[in-house]
Structure 1
């Protein structure tokens, strides 16, 4: 997948970092006029931007249920990172509360960088409903960055994320219906970091209603989160090395595909498994095929990248 192409979100990021972050400056704007933003970007920052670290990241992710959140991953050692972050703050201000910005120092928060698969700074990603949305690396002209933001808001709107931290609300927006009890139990368990309980709740929901599409998606997402939670930074590098050196290593291919989806590199993940399926037969092919189908659920069966992958898979199988 191109690093400079937004994606359509359909699930959680797989990052399970718990903690508290002072989002009051952002949350309070939902009940007060956005006077500071309306006046223009203040020198040296944005009222819609906060510093985020490994302890505070999970709460920042939750904000992406309300508005798209942009994550600027940089380093204090990189002047380019500072330049890009300043530009992001300026543009975020112009949207008056439709977006939030989280600034991450990868030197002090390497786990966040690993979760997103960051290989260079600055890297900019976004989150919609907890799902990573790759945007771009390096420094881009302001107009091009604005194009990414405009597209990000379109993707957010298509997924029902249309809040405003400045207090503007859509009068036509209705309160979403409550989740079914087992779905709510699974969501609560995920928020508490109890993925095993979430898995059990979704499995019970599917046992009661085998055609429950939302439970099927939720279970696929939890499976991905459980698998990637077991992989540390060193193991991730080992799996990538193995996958690059041995096209027959199924364990490595599956692990790297999981990591790529979690990091937002969806096309790379799907292409890797389709290629494995095309080159192998027997139980290993079936294992790869089943994992690929589950990742389709995580990404979203209506996502154009999934549709394209299905066509390639059909050619590989038949």
Structure 2
């Protein structure tokens, strides 16, 4: 999104008692204390979107019953949300009945999907998109917010997992912008527990964030102007990934691998594999890119 979006006006209306969505009834398939899909109105927007987004990412899907395409797309998003098992929430908004929500987000067309975290919109797209692209985009959103939200509430009757103070220290350093401190904290965990998958994944994310801080704003343009410049290709891929364009980042490096030979080819391949590690290896974008990489290598 370009600029912050003011959602404060949607808090003005008196709120009815919140529906019991924080606790999922037995049998709906969610392993967390959240309902994966909720219908949201102006009256429930604050509780179901703003407050809920302090716990997990909320995808606000703005649709209209007048648009068959948006209705069908909302159904596809519901399937993704159910697969997510309450780790993120889909908030469906009928724009015809809730014009103030549409106006707050500056909606210019439907369907529009907006990711909200910590009470603020952080990413969005407009129009029907292929499911695999939505999954890739969502993966980036979840990666960007990892460790920054409180997480879903416990299921009724379950005791909440105590927070690991080592991870709390690392996440606090990350929240303060201390990337070196965050990496050191995660490394300390790995020194004690080399197989800690959570620390491995978090440290990879921190290292990527630290590296991308030094990438020039025109990195993609520069790489296109200097196709033989290996460093330029690596920077451009980082820039694309940081701006939530993973497929484009993967394609740029795979194309470079096809052009290069020897050490240059190895360098680019190594970076591509590092970028793959930032994702769930079952992510369709990663699976497709690995096939393309194999073709480029052999």
CA distance in 2, matches of 1:101, 1:200: 43
* Alignment correspondent of 2:28: none
Q: TM-score, normalised by structure 1?
A: 0.53
* Alignment correspondent of 1:11: none
* Alignment correspondent of 2:294: 314
* Alignment correspondent of 1:66: 56
Q: Secondary structure at the match of 2:194?
A: coil
Q: CA deviation at 1:308?
A: 1.6
Q: How many residues are matched?
A: 226
Match of residue 290, structure 1, among 253, 270, 286: 270
Q: CA deviation at 1:127?
A: 5.4
Check the 8 A contact 2:57/2:115 in 1, yes or no. no
Q: CA deviation at 1:89?
A: 9.3
Uncovered stretches (5+) of structure 2, i.e. residues with no partner: 1-6, 20-37, 63-90, 146-151
* Alignment correspondent of 2:242: 262
Check the 8 A contact 1:190/1:198 in 2, yes or no. yes
Q: For the structure 1 residues 305 and 197, does the alpha-carbon distance in structure 2 shift closer, same or farther, using more than 3 Å as the test?
A: same
Match of residue 188, structure 1, among 152, 172, 179: 172
* Alignment correspondent of 1:126: 115
Check the 8 A contact 2:170/2:185 in 1, yes or no. yes
* Alignment correspondent of 2:18: 33
Check the 8 A contact 2:60/2:114 in 1, yes or no. yes
Q: TM-score, normalised by structure 2?
A: 0.56
| RMSD (CA atoms) | 5.2
CA distance in 2, matches of 1:182, 1:101: 41
Larger radius of gyration: 2
Q: For the structure 1 residues 33 and 169, does the alpha-carbon distance in structure 2 shift closer, same or farther, using more than 3 Å as the test?
A: farther
CA distance in 2, matches of 1:22, 1:41: 12
Q: Per-residue CA shift, 1:231-263, capped at 9, x if unaligned?
A: 4xxx312x1211112222222222221122222
